[in-house]
């Protein structure tokens, strides 16, 4: 009989535990290993969760390659690229935060976490510009897809609407931060100030993105007008019919883009090859599902990061207890990784 | 089990044909696939019986033989025996391979198209069937000729349905937005039941009709043929035309026997007062019926507004003459007129 | 030798120290992190779901007494079978054994104080509550009439509360994922020293295999339901054929989860049966490794067979062939289990206790359920049987005849551990007989009417099937009476049962080394890791009317041997 003594006295043992070791674990190592395995399994479920969408994406792309090529031209590669860089950079700072937590360097952890959070917020800001710009053009999911000319470049109502919650959160954290300073609670002052900086990051992304978008729209329009006159004489009804029958793949794509631009320039609602523009909606259905779900994960990451920041400011990490930073770090890398897949699949089709 | 003669379904479903016989487990074998399929079924059945009897026998024997006796400890015996484990894993697998092989072969047979098959288009919609034949005739009951080859092209107007005739041992789902196909060769004359096998909504259980397998092509042509123009001469003929058209176009949603279905009942309605969703009321006359066929959304009968399904617009789909037949038919099932209605 | 009082304290009934007397008040239950209390709350919850959905079943059967279905009418019938299915599958069967019994037993079988993540465990329970609440909201507001499978495009078109219901199932999915994740980590990291993978009780193996499925399959269901919700609210056109979507894609997604989910339901049941048969035969389990690996094999193969739900959907011939072939392979590990259970009883000491009668019933019912699966995996036969009552009977034999029987058997087996009291053996056996007889009477006629062409989900039917339906309805009421009686016996025992000491059945797995009921932290004294199937380590003590470990009653224990299975 293999006799193993597990625990002599449960209550006595608890005193031997470290400050943050749960009572049912025997050691810090066991707790850390459990958490690590748990978060990896959670990441597996996350990947499978997204994999359903990737399957749908693959299926529709195989069935309608031409739509995907055309639709991706509505996405701005530069904004997507900036977001990719921002997220990659945030992964770096996250990794540095994990390293610092292992070494129990409180200040470094805090600085790196704040940078990561700001990056996340910048990402959302840019995303908000992209979304609002499409909504202004009537690019919604399939059923509401109604491509039309972009309204006067300037402040978008959609963008304002998305930004309101962030503005409220920004104002609230600034107010609480100063209230904390008045109370002399330095730790909480730092915490709320960091939150304020994070929400500020959103506006950095949103304003920057919007300025770029307005510049681009103005630029495109002058270009488009020139293209329009050229295409109109050359293109004509023949291509139009090709687009209607859905084949061959390449020809209608070029026609449709070419045709939609002059119509937009002329300031009319696009009736263009009607069902083709409807089919574009299928792409955007998938686009919104994928990027929307990803953005939701970014928001969840921001909440988790804020929680880490709170605990970091209180100085909870020990050489044998830094698991939470590690786990959130892994999650954040996954969020980043998913975007690394989404960016080429959605933006760089052509 | 033959007690159902005289049975009348509550809603307008084709009455079930008289019992055709068959074995304990199956209805009659009426298609070329039925024999093989049933044979395989019985093969698996007897394999299962043998295994199950073995399991029960061993269990009962062990429970009695090795029942607990107070104070007697069980004699020690081996807790594993790898050759035995491997044997009872591998040997049954050989039977499984046989089942797979025969099942797949039978399935292949069903998938191989007949060269000389007549194509019948099957249009399914909530809760009715329409069969269109190569010669342009159509009907709500499927008419086939014995020993002929058929290909069915199945399409759905709304949700998933499934084409199933138990006597043919053949089933094929009908998926909206695409065609599915299946092949058949009936081998027995008679009338059989045809069901919708995929749940399709409120009246799913009433989406059933009959298949009539005729002995000769001539009989079948007679059954499906309909002399629209010839009938047009007499008032009775017009009513008969209307009856037929009603069955094909309207009976999926409107009852002519008094039940509330997806749409309002039309039995005994002509000439009566009707109340509408917009609060108005009106006597149902020819004009109202014609308007309702052409523009169904104009006057919706009270309690049939949203969220009920909208009626399809028939403007352009039915000619004025055809609408006239339907009006005549609805008149004929109005109050007091039922005695003269054709059956 | 110690005196009776101290020995009673060591193994006996400890009314002042156990987990449900440790703290009082509703909050101490609702906010508890203790796996035993969470297990009990789950048990109450899933049992309520069982009875609710069971009542639906009886109403359905009653209305099928006559062919024209005068009792309910089509609409009501459709709603009722949908809710029967959805509540049974998502709110009862999937969480029943893992979350209720597994929660209570798994950490104790590992000699652990709790699961790895107690807060996550409580969170799972509240997610279960939330998900079930949404199902109830759907039921009480607009109803639900899509069938539990939510097939598109009907689920997009119908006016009933599909959005509520799918959101509820979405939440229930996360509850299931978190339970699986918790168990998997617990088994991996919290096994005591000395317990290797092949010294674990087989129930743990089964729960481990289940956890793998829960983690790998449920996220796909979650995204599918999320897309269905998006389809209904935003019309994203992924599944809607009217907008260019693909309704069959939904079926692929749905069955990619829901077929493995069948194994989420049956694997833990098989684990329980392995325990029951060996303990109540006092015989080491036969072919331990084969049973353990067959659980993993079933979990693995379960992922590759979803397409057999779609043999008639028009998928390609090749796919049908592949799915049919793989489906047959699932039969092998299932058969291996059945043969091993039988071999375990060979030369045993078989006592027909209530848990054992359930275990025997399980072998028979699961045997029929499994064997009828052969008909359905044979493509040409399935083209006839698909969507008939044959299918209905087949999956009820597996899910009800399998899982419900095992759940009841497991409850009776562990009830002395959970409550510290012994149930009435004769009433328990009577209930198990009623369950067995009623079940067979309900579902055997359904095989026959199914192959004769009676379609499932039909509110009214052709009169030639009436006689089968009537037998089935009678059986359903007998089954209902049996389950009710079983629950009545269990509930009566909580209050009035005869108090028992630690280990009335002489089981050797670690959970029986605690007192009954266990204390707040499970074990008050050293846990001795031994072979869970070496019943020679347990000897009967007349004074205590219970089994105790041999080392306590024999001054010099036998020389230690490492438990071995090969």
CA distance A163 to chain C (A): 22
Joined tokens for residue A116: 């990561």
Is B77 in Cβ contact with C451 (below 8 Å)?
no
Tell me the shortest Cα–Cα distance from A2 to chain C, in angstroms.
6
Segments of chain C with pLDDT less than 70: 1-16, 553-566
The three-class DSSP label of residue C550 is: helix
Chain A partners (3+ C-beta pairs within 8 A): C
Size of interface B-C (CB pairs under 8 A): 279
User: Whole-angstrom Cα distance, residue C399 to residue C405?
Assistant: 9
pLDDT at A200 over 60: yes
B129-157 exposure pattern, b = at least 16 Cβ within 10 A, e = fewer: bbbebeeeebbbbbbbbbebbbbbebbbe
Q: Nearest Cβ partner of C324 from B48, B77, B103?
A: B103
pLDDT of residue B79: 83
Question: Do chains A and B meet with 3 or more Cβ pairs nearer than 8 Å?
Answer: no
By the CB < 8 Å criterion, does B339 face chain C? no
Closest residue by Cα to residue B319 from B223, B228, B226: B228
pLDDT of residue B340: 45
Q: Within its chain, how far is the Cα of C251 from the centroid?
A: 24
Q: What percent of chain A has pLDDT over 90?
A: 55
- Mean pLDDT score, A75-93: 94
- The per-residue pLDDT for A9 is 39
Which residues, listed in sequence order, are joined to residue B214 by a DSSP beta bridge?
A: B145
Interchain proximity B107–C320, CB inside 8 Å: yes
Mean pLDDT of B280-289: 87
Which band of pLDDT confidence, cut at 50, 70 and 90, is reported for residue A247?
very low
Question: For residue C6, what pLDDT is reported?
Answer: 53
Mean model confidence pLDDT for chain B: 84
Q: Which of residues 361-390 of C touch B (CB under 8 A)?
A: 363-364, 367-368, 371-372, 374-375, 377-384, 386-388
Comparing A219-228, B176-185, B209-218, B334-343, the range with the smallest average pLDDT is B334-343
Closest-approach residue (CA) in chain A for C178? A42
Q: How far is A30 from chain C (nearest CA, A)?
A: 7
Residues of C within 8 A of A52 (CB-CB) are: 219-220, 223-224, 227, 253
C347 reaches B (C-beta below 8 A) = yes
Kindly state the average pLDDT of the residues B66-80.
82
Q: Are the Cβ atoms of C338 and B55 closer than 8 angstroms?
A: yes
Query: What is residue A232's predicted lDDT score, i.e. its pLDDT?
Result: 55
The whole-angstrom separation of Cα C480 and Cα C52 is 12
Residue of C nearest to A64 (CA): C244
B115 φ, ψ to 5°?
Answer: -65, -40
Q: What's the pLDDT at A38?
A: 95
pLDDT of residue C260: 93
Q: Where are the alpha helices (DSSP H) in C311-377?
A: 317-345, 354-377
What's the pLDDT band for A273 if we cut at 50, 70, 90? very low
The rounded distance, in Å, linking the Cα atoms of A76 and A219 is: 14
ipTM rounded to 2 decimals: 0.91
Structure tokens at C234: 């935003």
Residue of B37, B75, B176 lying closest to C384 (CB–CB): B37
The pLDDT score that the predictor gives to residue C536 is 84
d(CA C203, CA C268): 7
Smallest CA–CA distance, residue C114 to chain B, in Å, is 32
Smallest Cα–Cα separation from C337: which of C368, C307, C292, C383?
Answer: C292
Mark yes or no for CB contact C151/B102 under 8 Å. no
Which residues of C fall within a CB distance of 8 Å from B105? 380
In which band, very low, low, confident or very high, does the pLDDT at B73 lie, cut at 50, 70 and 90? confident
Is the minimum CB–CB distance between C340 and chain B shorter than 8 Å? Answer: yes
DSSP string covering A277-292: HHHHHHHHHHHHHHHH
CA atoms within 13 A on the CB side of C153: 26
Q: Which residues of C touch A279 (CB under 8 A)?
A: 244
Residue A5 has pLDDT above 60, yes or no: no
**Interchain proximity C328–B9, CB inside 8 Å:** no
| Chains adjacent to C (≥3 CB pairs closer than 8 angstroms) | A, B
Residue A24 has its nearest CB partner, among C114, C188, C223, at C114
Give C436 to chain B, closest Cα distance, Å: 14
For residue C549, the surrounding DSSP H or E stretch is strand C546-549
Which residues in chain A are contacts of C515 at CB distance < 8 A?
A: none
Give the position of tokens 């029986």: C512
Say yes or no for a CB contact (<8 Å) between C558 and A24: no
Beta-carbon separation of C153 and B160 below 8 A: yes
Nearest-angstrom CA–CA distance, C11 and C27: 30
Q: What does the block give as tokens for C176?
A: 């299931």
Q: How far is C464 from chain A (nearest CA, A)?
A: 44
CA dist., res. C399 & res. C86, Å (int): 13
Q: Is C427 near chain B, with CB under 8 Å?
A: no
Contact C327, B97 (CB under 8 A): no
Q: Which residues contact C300 (CB under 8 A, 6 or more apart)?
A: none
Model confidence at A240, in pLDDT bands (50, 70, 90)? very low
Q: In chain B, which among 47-86 make CB contacts under 8 A with chain C?
A: 47-48, 51-52, 55-56, 58-59, 62-63, 66-69, 72-75, 77, 79-81, 84-85
- Interchain proximity B7–C342, CB inside 8 Å: no
Q: Which of A269, A265, A246, A266 is nearest to A256 (CA)?
A: A246
**Strand bridging mode C546-549 / B208-214:** unpaired
**C417: enclosing H helix or E strand:** helix C405-419
Q: pLDDT at position B309, please?
A: 66
Mutation for testing the C interface, residue in A52, A145, A281, A287 having most C CBs under 10 Å: A52
Structure tokens at C251: 């079926």
Please list every residue in chain B whose beta carbon sits closer than 8 Å to the beta carbon of residue C322.
Answer: none
Residue C276: CA count within 13 A, CB half-sphere? 29
Strands (E) in chain B, as ranges, are 118-125, 128-132, 138-139, 142-145, 150-156, 161-165, 170-174, 180-184, 190-196, 208-214, 273-275, 281-283
Against chain B, the chains showing at least 3 CB pairs within 8 Å are C
Spell out the residues 6+ positions from residue B70 whose beta carbon is closer than 8 angstroms to its own: none
For the cut 70, the answer to whether the pLDDT of residue B129 exceeds it is yes
Contact call for A1 and C230, based on CB within 8 A: no
Cβ-Cβ contacts under 8 Å for C123 (sequence gap 6 or more): C178
DSSP state, residue A322 = -
Would you call C321 helix, strand, or coil by DSSP? helix
Q: Residue A35 corresponds to which tokens in the numbers above? A: 């958490």
Q: What is the pLDDT of residue C61?
A: 95
Alpha helices in chain A (DSSP H): 10-16, 28-63, 65-72, 77-102, 106-136, 157-183, 186-234, 237-245, 250-265, 274-313, 323-342
Are C243 and A142 a contacting pair at CB < 8 A?
A: yes
Interface test with C, best of A17, A285, A324, A334 (most C CBs within 10 A): A285
Residues of C within 8 A of A141 (CB-CB) are 230, 234-237
Chain C residues within 8 A of B177 when measuring between CB atoms: 241-242, 244-247
Say what the pLDDT of residue C34 is. 93
Q: Which residue from A minimizes the CA distance to C237?
A: A142
Cis peptide before C336 (omega within 30 of 0): no
* Of A10, A33, A48, Cβ closest to residue C521: A10
Segment holding C52, helix H or strand E: helix C35-63
Is B230 within 8 Å of B237 (Cβ atoms)? Answer: yes
Q: Which of B164, A190, B243 is nearest to C382 (CA)?
A: B164
User: Would you call B194 an interface residue with chain C, using a CB distance cutoff of 8 Å?
Assistant: no
Looking at residue B306, its pLDDT comes to: 64
Residue B4 and residue C463: Cβ atoms within 8 Å?
yes
CB pairs under 8 A between A and C: 152
Place of tokens 């138990």: B166
pLDDT at A237 over 50: no
Range with lowest mean pLDDT among A89-98, B192-201, C77-86, C238-247 = C238-247
Q: From chain C, pick out residues whose CB is under 8 angstroms from the CB of B7.
A: 67, 463
Give Cβ neighbours of residue C145 (< 8 Å, ≥ 6 apart): B201, B202, C75, C78, C79, C82, C158, C160
| C-beta of residue B334 within 8 angstroms of C-beta of residue B264 | no
Which of A2, A8, A10 comes nearest C529 by C-beta?
A2
pLDDT for B159 beyond 50: yes
CB C512 within 8 A of CB C534: no
Answer yes or no: do B205 and C457 touch at CB < 8 A.
Answer: yes
C16's tokens: 């002042």
Residue A4 has a pLDDT of 34
């Amino acid at each position: 009989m293999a006799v193993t003594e597990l625990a002599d006295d449960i209550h006595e043992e608890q005193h031997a535990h470290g400050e943050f070791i749960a009572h049912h674990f025997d050691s810090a190592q066991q707790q850390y290993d459990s958490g690590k395995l748990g978060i990896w399994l959670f990441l597996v479920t996350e990947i499978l969760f997204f994999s359903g969408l990737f399957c749908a994406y693959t299926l529709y792309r195989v069935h309608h390659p031409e739509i995907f090529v055309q639709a991706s031209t509505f996405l701005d590669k530069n904004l997507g690229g900036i977001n990719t860089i921002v997220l990659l950079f945030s992964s770096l700072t996250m990794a540095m935060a994990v390293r610092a937590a292992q070494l129990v360097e409180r200040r470094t952890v805090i600085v790196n976490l704040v940078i990561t959070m700001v990056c996340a917020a910048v990402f959302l800001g840019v995303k908000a510009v992209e979304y609002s710009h499409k909504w202004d053009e009537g690019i919604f999911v399939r059923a509401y897809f109604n491509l039309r000319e972009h309204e006067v470049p300037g402040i978008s109502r959609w963008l304002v609407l998305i930004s309101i919650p962030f503005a409220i959160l920004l104002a609230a954290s600034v107010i609480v931060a100063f209230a904390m300073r008045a109370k002399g609670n330095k730790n909480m002052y730092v915490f709320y100030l960091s939150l304020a900086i994070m929400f500020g990051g959103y506006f950095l992304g949103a304003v920057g993105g919007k300025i770029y978008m307005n510049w681009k729209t103005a630029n495109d329009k002058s270009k488009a007008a020139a293209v329009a006159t050229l295409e109109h004489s050359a293109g004509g009804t023949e291509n139009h019919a090709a687009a209607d029958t859905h084949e061959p793949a390449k020809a209608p794509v070029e026609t449709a883009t070419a045709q939609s631009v002059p119509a937009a320039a002329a300031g009319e609602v696009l009736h263009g090859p009607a069902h083709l523009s409807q089919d574009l909606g299928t792409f955007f259905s998938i686009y919104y599902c994928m990027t929307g779900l990803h953005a939701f994960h970014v928001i969840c990451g921001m909440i988790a990061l804020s929680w880490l920041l709170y605990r970091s400011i209180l100085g909870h990490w020990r050489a044998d207890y830094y698991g939470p930073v590690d786990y959130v770090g892994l999650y954040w890398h996954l969020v980043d990784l998913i975007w690394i897949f989404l960016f080429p699949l959605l933006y760089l089709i052509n | 089990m033959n007690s159902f003669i005289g049975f009348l379904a509550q809603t307008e479903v084709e009455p079930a044909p008289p019992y055709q016989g068959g074995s304990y487990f199956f209805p009659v074998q009426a298609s070329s696939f039925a024999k093989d399929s049933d044979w395989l079924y019985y093969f698996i059945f007897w394999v299962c019986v043998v295994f199950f009897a073995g399991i029960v026998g061993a269990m009962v024997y062990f429970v009695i033989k090795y029942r607990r006796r107070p104070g007697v400890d069980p004699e020690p015996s081996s807790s594993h025996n790898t050759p035995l484990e491997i044997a009872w894993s591998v040997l049954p697998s050989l039977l499984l391979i046989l089942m797979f092989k025969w099942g797949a072969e039978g399935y292949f047979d069903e998938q191989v198209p007949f060269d000389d098959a007549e194509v019948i288009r099957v249009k399914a919609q909530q809760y009715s069937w329409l069969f269109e034949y190569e010669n342009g005739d159509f009907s709500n009951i499927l008419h086939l000729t014995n020993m002929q080859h058929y290909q069915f092209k199945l399409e759905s107007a709304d949700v998933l349905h499934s084409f199933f005739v138990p006597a043919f041992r053949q089933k094929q789902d009908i998926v909206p937005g695409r065609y599915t196909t299946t092949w058949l060769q009936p081998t027995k004359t008679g009338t059989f039941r045809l069901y919708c096998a995929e749940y399709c909504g409120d009246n799913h259980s009433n989406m059933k009709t009959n298949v009539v397998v005729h002995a000769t092509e001539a009989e079948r042509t007679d059954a499906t043929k309909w002399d629209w123009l010839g009938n047009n001469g007499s008032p009775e003929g017009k009513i008969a035309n209307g009856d037929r058209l009603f069955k094909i176009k309207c009976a999926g949603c409107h009852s002519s026997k008094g039940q509330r279905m997806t749409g309002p009942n039309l039995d005994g309605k002509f000439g009566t007062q009707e109340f509408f969703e917009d609060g108005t009321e009106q006597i149902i006359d020819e004009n109202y019926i014609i308007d309702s066929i052409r523009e169904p959304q104009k006057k919706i009968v009270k309690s049939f507004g949203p969220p009920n399904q909208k009626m399809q617009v028939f403007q352009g789909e039915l000619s004025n003459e055809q609408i006239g037949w339907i009006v005549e038919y609805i008149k004929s099932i109005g109050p007091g007129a039922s005695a003269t209605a054709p059956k | 030798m110690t005196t009776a009082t101290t020995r009673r304290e060591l193994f006996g009934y400890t009314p002042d120290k156990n987990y449900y007397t440790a703290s009082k008040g509703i909050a101490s239950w609702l906010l508890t992190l203790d796996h035993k209390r969470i297990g009990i709350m789950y048990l109450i919850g899933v049992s309520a779901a069982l009875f609710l959905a069971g009542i639906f079943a009886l109403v359905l059967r009653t209305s099928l007494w006559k062919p024209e279905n005068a009792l309910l009418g089509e609409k009501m019938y459709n709603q009722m079978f949908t809710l029967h299915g959805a509540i049974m599958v998502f709110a009862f069967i999937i969480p029943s054994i893992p979350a209720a019994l597994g929660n209570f037993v798994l950490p104790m079988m590992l000699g652990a104080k709790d699961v790895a993540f107690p807060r996550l465990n409580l969170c799972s329970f509240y997610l279960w509550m939330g998900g079930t609440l949404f199902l109830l909201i759907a039921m009480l507001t607009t109803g639900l009439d899509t069938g539990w499978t939510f097939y598109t495009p009907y689920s997009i078109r119908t006016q009933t509360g599909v959005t509520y219901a799918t959101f509820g199932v979405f939440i229930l999915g996360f509850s299931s994922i978190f339970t699986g994740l918790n168990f998997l980590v617990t088994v991996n990291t919290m096994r005591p020293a000395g317990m290797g993978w092949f010294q674990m009780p087989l129930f743990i193996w089964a729960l481990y295999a289940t956890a793998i499925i829960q983690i790998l399959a449920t996220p796909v269901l979650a995204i599918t339901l999320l897309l269905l919700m998006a389809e209904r609210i935003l019309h994203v056109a992924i599944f809607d054929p009217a907008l260019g979507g693909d309704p069959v894609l939904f079926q692929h997604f749905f069955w990619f989860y829901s077929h493995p989910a069948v194994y989420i339901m049956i694997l833990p049941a098989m684990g329980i049966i392995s325990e029951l048969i060996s303990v109540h035969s006092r015989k080491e389990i036969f072919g331990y490794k084969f049973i353990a690996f067959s659980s993993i094999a079933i979990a693995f193969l379960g992922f590759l067979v979803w397409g057999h739900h779609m043999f008639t959907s028009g998928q390609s011939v090749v796919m049908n062939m592949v799915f049919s072939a793989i489906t047959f392979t699932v039969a092998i590990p299932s058969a291996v289990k059945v043969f091993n259970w039988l071999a375990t009883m060979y030369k045993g000491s078989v006592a027909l206790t209530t848990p054992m009668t359930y275990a025997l019933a399980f072998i028979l019912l699961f045997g029929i359920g499994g064997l009828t699966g052969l008909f359905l995996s044979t493509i040409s036969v399935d083209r006839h049987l698909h969507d008939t009552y044959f299918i209905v009977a087949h999956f009820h034999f597996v899910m009800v005849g399998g899982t419900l029987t095992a759940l009841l058997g497991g409850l009776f087996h562990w009830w002395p551990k959970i409550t510290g009291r012994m149930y009435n053996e004769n009433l328990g056996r009577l209930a198990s007989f009623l369950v067995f007889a009623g079940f067979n009477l309900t579902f055997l006629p359904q095989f026959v009417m199914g192959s004769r062409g009676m379609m499932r989900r039909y509110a009214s039917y052709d009169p030639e099937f009436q006689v089968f339906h009537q037998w089935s309805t009678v059986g359903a009421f007998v089954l209902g009476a049996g389950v009710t009686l079983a629950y009545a016996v269990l509930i009566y025992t909580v209050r009035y049962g005869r108090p028992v000491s630690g280990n009335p059945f002489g089981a050797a797995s670690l959970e029986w080394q605690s007192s009954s009921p266990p204390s707040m932290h499970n074990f008050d004294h050293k846990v001795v890791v031994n072979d869970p199937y070496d019943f020679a380590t347990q000897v009967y003590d007349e004074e205590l009317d219970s089994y105790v470990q041999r080392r306590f009653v024999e001054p010099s224990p036998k020389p230690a041997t490492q438990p071995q299975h090969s």
